[in-house]
Amino acid sequence: MPKVFLVHGWEGNPNNSFFPWLRSELESRDYEVESLSMPDPDNPRMEAWIPHLEQAVGTPSKDVVIVGHSMGGATTLRFLERLPEGIKIDKAVLVAPAVDIINNLTDEEAEFISPWLKPFDDSKIARSADKIIGIFSDNDQFIPLSSADYAKEHFSAEIVIDHEMSHYDDDTGITEAPSVLQAILD
């Protein structure tokens, strides 16, 4: 049975959004699930978040699934590009991932987050997971649907477009994400 790591986004925590529901659904199916509490979630920094995920995962293997929401999606991609050649995980499920553009940020927020959005090592990422699934909403106020095209083109991601799931967060009342569960189970 795969081990699933849940990586929340900017200003998030393991107990918000769809994560508690997803954890419960997976555990009821005998999956081992670890919901990470990322360091200083109000100020996500690559030099803290990526090593935190690396430490949690330990030695990556083909039974590892990482679900990253928003900035957690960017963290997952940066994790994949740092894996040694020939090491793979089973799946990366990217939910409203920050891959190229984030809308509705202040100038200060955009400047702070810009290192995360620098070009990825696309081919390395694609080689580091057996499957990459990008899940996007058609009314996300932060992540545009054009990011789905980016994920498909750059990471060979399979794309799922949900209807009216906004940014899959508490602020918009999203507490369940069936497409995320399905992506893990498939």
**For residue 59, which phi and psi values (nearest 5 degrees)?**
-80, 110
**Nearest-angstrom CA–CA distance, 114 and 74:** 12
**Domain of 60?**
3-185
| Counted domains in the chain | 1
* Residue 1 clears pLDDT 90, i.e. is over it: no
**Nearest-angstrom CA–CA distance, 104 and 118:** 18
- Regarding beta strands 32-36 and 89-95, do their DSSP bridges make them parallel or antiparallel, or are they unpaired? unpaired
**87-113: average pLDDT:** 96
- Give the pLDDT confidence of 111-166 residue by residue, as tens digits: 999 999 999 999 999 999 999 999 999 999 999 999 999 999 999 999 999 999 99
- Give the pLDDT confidence of 32-73 residue by residue, as tens digits: 999 999 999 999 999 999 999 999 999 999 999 999 999 999
Radius of gyration of the chain (CA): 15
CATH code, 141: 3.40.50.1820
Tokens of 79: 């994790």
What is the pTM assigned to this prediction? 0.97
